């Protein structure tokens, strides 16, 4: 039996949480946030949108189905650390190839278990996300508090440039049929089924977003976040996709300028950070939420249809809906938990974006049809605004 290793989490406000370390050994620092999903810990760990963050899982029992190569959203974990109430001592699933602790030890992720995650989550909900330090090597509270107070704020921080790809590449991998509830036939009236060429700007793109695009016949060429509008248009795409990613959208000024130069020239679809960058390019504003939206059970209402979808979300910033006035974009979706903006669209610019993750990894499949909406937009269909 492995000897328990003590670990300590100290927040910048002086809050102290003691527990047991698992996975890697060392010290990690970042913004402490919480996620309400019951499953999907591997996708969360490898989602580039979590760069710079220590994630507290509110579901008390984590790790019971292990890990596998297929469920990773990128080549490595991006989280700074993970906080759980109880790490499962058993990994039991036919797809599992490695337990969570072994995977974290191999990939360099420091975890802590055995602390009161309910107390921590209530602290984050009441007072907001806050910086913290997680350590299994330095167990001195005063030392860790000083380190936590010295951490920079994520406000104004461009993290997209740290997670984007180094060079362009093509993607043609599809969703395995048994993983998804996709339509059997894409050939609606006026659709000949041919693949459409998409340029995907990578601000921290998840693999399953790229899989979803390809499965709907939208074959992406992925380009770095710093790619110019001229370089993108030179690729002669049928449409342009703006990916998810971490950090403050207002800090990614180079991408905002690029998107401004692309709006109206090709049909465009943005997810999460890409949605926010589209809004900024149109002249709207964004702001930071108190504790963000992170989970797989967020209800969203589409204004045009009244349809309610349960969605997967992961973001700390949102579009200011009132600032859309005069931009040519309209709010199209609302988060029913706090009534913040969850989608925008402009028929004139042939562009739309959503503040959630329709690729359903992890999460429900309710919004997966938005990839088909993007395909139909490219083929000349109107947006439901």
Q: What is the pLDDT of residues 98-146, one digit of tens each?
A: 999 999 999 999 999 999 999 999 999 999 999 999 999 999 999 999 9
Number of H helices, E strands in the chain: 10, 19
Active site annotation includes 56: no
Residues 146 and 169 in one domain: no
Residue after which a domain boundary falls, among 150, 175, 204:
150
Annotated catalytic residue, options 272, 275, 298, 333: 272
H/E run at residue 87: strand 86-87
Going by DSSP bridges, is the β-strand pair 268-271/86-87 parallel, antiparallel, or unpaired? unpaired
Catalytic residue flag (residue 178): no
Q: Can 365 be counted among the known catalytic residues?
A: no
Residues 6+ apart with CB under 8 A from 151: 12, 29, 30, 131, 133
Q: 41 pLDDT exceeds 60?
A: yes
Could you tell me the pLDDT band of residue 183, with boundaries at 50, 70 and 90?
Answer: low
Can you tell me the distance from the alpha carbon of 385 to that of 344, in angstroms, rounded to the nearest whole number?
9
Q: Which residues contact 355 (CB under 8 A, 6 or more apart)?
A: 272, 275, 276, 293, 313, 315, 318, 319, 333, 335, 340, 341, 342, 343
Query: Average of pLDDT values for 308-325?
Result: 97
Distance of CA 139 to the CA centre of its chain: 32
Determine, yes or no, domain membership for 385.
Answer: no
Sequence-ordered list of residues with C-beta below 8 angstroms from that of 361, at least 6 positions apart, any chain: 40, 43, 71, 73, 206, 208, 312
The CA-based dihedral angle spanning residues 273, 260, 332, 187, taken in that order and rounded to the nearest 10 degrees: -90
Same domain as 277, residue 187: yes
- Co-location of 217 and 141 in the same domain: no
Q: Is residue 192 part of a domain?
A: yes
- Within the chain, what is the greatest distance between any pair of CA atoms? 66
Confidence (pLDDT) at 1: 45
Range of the domain at 338: 160-378
pLDDT interval class at 181 (50, 70, 90): low
Q: Are residues 39 and 136 in the same domain?
A: yes
- Residue given tokens 């030179």 in the structure block: 234
Q: Is the per-residue pLDDT at 177 higher than 80?
A: no
In angstroms, rounded to a whole number, what is the distance separating the alpha carbons of residues 134 and 103? 19
Could you tell me the pTM of the whole model? 0.95
Residue 64 forms part of a structural domain: yes
The residue from 150, 170, 199 where one domain ends is: 150
Per-residue confidence (pLDDT) for residue 180, from 0 to 100: 56
On whether both 145 and 167 belong to a single domain, the answer is: no
CA-angle at 39, arms to 67 and 11, nearest 5°: 95
Measure CA 44 to chain center.
8
Same domain, 113 and 170: no
How many angstroms separate the CA atoms of 35 and 210, rounded?
23
The CATH number linked to 128 is 3.50.30.20
Whether the pLDDT of residue 263 is over 90: the answer is yes
176 and 38 fall within a common domain: no
Q: Based on the fold, state whether residues 194 and 252 are members of the same structural domain.
A: yes
Instruction: With a cut of 70, say whether residue 284 has pLDDT above it.
Output: yes
In the Cβ-directed half-sphere of 303, how many Cα atoms lie within 13 Å? 16
Are 32 and 96 within one domain?
Answer: yes
Q: How far is 47 from 282, CA to CA, in rounded Å?
A: 27
**CA-wise closest residue to 351 among 325, 377, 376, 380:** 377
User: By the 8 A CB rule, do 353 and 279 touch?
Assistant: yes
- Whether the per-residue pLDDT at 224 is higher than 60: the answer is yes
Q: Is residue 194 part of a domain?
A: yes
Residues 145 and 165 in one domain: no
Rounded average pLDDT over 244-271: 98
Q: How many domains does the chain have?
A: 2
Same structural domain for residues 76 and 187? Answer: no
Catalytic: which of 43, 113, 309, 359?
A: 359
């Amino acid at each position: 039996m492995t000897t328990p290793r003590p670990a300590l989490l100290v927040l910048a406000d002086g809050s102290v949480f003691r527990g047991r370390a698992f996975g890697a050994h060392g010290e990690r620092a970042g913004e402490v946030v919480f996620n309400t999903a019951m499953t999907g810990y591997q996708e969360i760990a490898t989602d580039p949108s979590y760069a710079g963050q220590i994630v507290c899982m509110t579901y008390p029992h984590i790790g019971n189905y292990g890990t596998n190569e297929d469920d990773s959203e990128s080549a490595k974990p991006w989280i700074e650390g993970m906080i759980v109430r109880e790490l499962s001592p058993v990994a039991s699933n036919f797809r599992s190839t490695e337990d969570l602790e072994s995977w974290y030890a191999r990939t360099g992720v420091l975890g802590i278990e055995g602390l009161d995650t309910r107390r921590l989550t209530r602290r984050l909900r009441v007072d907001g996300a806050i910086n913290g330090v997680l350590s299994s090597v330095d167990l001195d509270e005063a030392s860790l508090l000083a380190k936590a107070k010295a951490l920079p704020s994520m406000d104004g921080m461009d993290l997209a440039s740290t997670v984007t790809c180094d060079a362009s590449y093509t993607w043609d991998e599809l969703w395995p049929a048994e993983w998804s509830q996709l339509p059997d036939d894409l050939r609606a009236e006026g659709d000949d089924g041919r693949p459409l060429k998409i340029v995907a700007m990578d601000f921290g793109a998840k693999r399953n977003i790229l899989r979803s695009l390809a499965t709907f016949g939208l074959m992406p060429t992925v380009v770095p976040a710093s790619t110019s509008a001229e370089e993108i248009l030179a690729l002669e795409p049928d449409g342009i996709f703006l990916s998810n990613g971490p950090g403050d959208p207002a800090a990614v000024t180079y991408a905002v300028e690029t998107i401004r130069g692309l709006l109206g020239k090709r049909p465009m679809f943005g997810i999460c950070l890409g949605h926010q960058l589209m809004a900024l390019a149109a002249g709207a504003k964004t702001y930071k939420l108190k504790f963000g939206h992170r989970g797989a059970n967020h209800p969203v209402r589409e204004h045009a249809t009244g349809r309610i979808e349960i969605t997967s979300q992961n973001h700390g910033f949102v579009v200011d809906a009132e600032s859309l006035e005069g931009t040519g974009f309209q709010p199209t979706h609302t988060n029913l938990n706090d009534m913040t903006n969850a989608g925008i669209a402009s028929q004139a610019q042939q562009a739309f974006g959503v503040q959630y993750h329709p690729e359903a990894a992890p999460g429900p499949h309710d919004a997966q049809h938005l990839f088909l909406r993007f395909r139909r937009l490219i083929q000349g269909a109107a947006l439901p605004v």
